[in-house]
Structure 1
């Protein structure tokens, strides 16, 4: 599958993509990631991270832009998930995950393209930055 990531606020730092499968209760639990890929954000161009799914099935991905490259999750980081669910500040404060139906996608034989828009904390909500 190809995770096509847009909406970067800057081209600094690292981008991390994780793939989750199986029970939706395991989605976004770092210990349950089937695949984790971390790369420097390229200076220009479309950011596409290719992942080999273990088998056809239902999956979810999440993306984190570690803009300052410190390897820690902090307020300057951007994030997103497959299906581009809306995430509120309250969702983050109370560690509420998006509903499975909002983030799941099906991988079949052949290539699956999964678009993800990175969102950043701005005021009291998460929203995309200006266009890449």
Structure 2
């Protein structure tokens, strides 16, 4: 009895297995890369067909110096304001008064928005000069510098654009 020669199929089969393994590895990458995504302030993402997004109006910016940073987080205890767990970040030069930002989100769900005015643009937090704001405008003062509970800042975002207004607060 003659055995069939399977060697001609070995290379393509090995290549297919390697390709499937690479595909499986690549498809798991978004779990790691979904955090810390700097993006531009693309207002076209907040049109009626732009998909899930948050239109953030920031009021009360006290000066046109420094930078405004808007970050989105998932609204849960382990990710809200946790270091390196922001999803998207928009950072632009500050403009006194009010500014608008379009923050796309991954999918419908609960999110929190944090805004910071780095007045001197040094990248650090200067309590005496820098300002901050969060979705739902929770109370923040000198005695309450810790992060508010995620439940106080959570906003529900559907498959459309959700609009919010936040008030900058300075110490």
Secondary structure in structure 1 of the residue aligned to 2:143:
helix
Residue 111 of structure 1 pairs with residue 164 of structure 2: no
Aligned to 1:49: 101
Rg bigger for which structure? 2
Equivalent residue for 2:84, pick from 16, 24, 31: 31
* Number of equivalent positions: 117
Aligned ranges 1:1-132 → 2 under 5 Å? 1-21=54-74, 23-42=76-95, 46-75=98-127, 76-92=129-145, 96-121=146-171
Q: Runs of at least 4 residues of structure 1 off by over 6 A?
A: none
- Higher relative contact order, chain-length normalized (CA < 8 Å, sep 6+): 1
- Judged with a 3 Å threshold, the aligned counterparts in structure 2 of structure 1 residues 22 and 7 are, in CA distance, closer, same or farther, namely closer
For structure 1, the residue ranges without an aligned partner over 5 or more in a row are 122-132
Q: TM-score, normalised by structure 1?
A: 0.81
Rounded to whole Å, the distance in 1 between the matches of 2:134 and 2:75 is 16
Q: TM-score, normalised by structure 2?
A: 0.64
Secondary structure in structure 2 of the residue aligned to 1:101:
helix
Rounded to whole Å, the distance in 1 between the matches of 2:83 and 2:101 is 18
Rounded to whole Å, the distance in 2 between the matches of 1:30 and 1:7 is 26
Rounded to whole Å, the distance in 2 between the matches of 1:22 and 1:9 is 28
> Quick check: which one's strand share is greater?
1
Secondary structure in structure 1 of the residue aligned to 2:144:
helix
Indicate conservation of the 8 Å contact 2:63/2:95, yes or no: no
For structure 2, the residue ranges without an aligned partner over 5 or more in a row are 1-53
Per-residue deviation, 1:30: 2.9
Indicate conservation of the 8 Å contact 2:76/2:150, yes or no: no
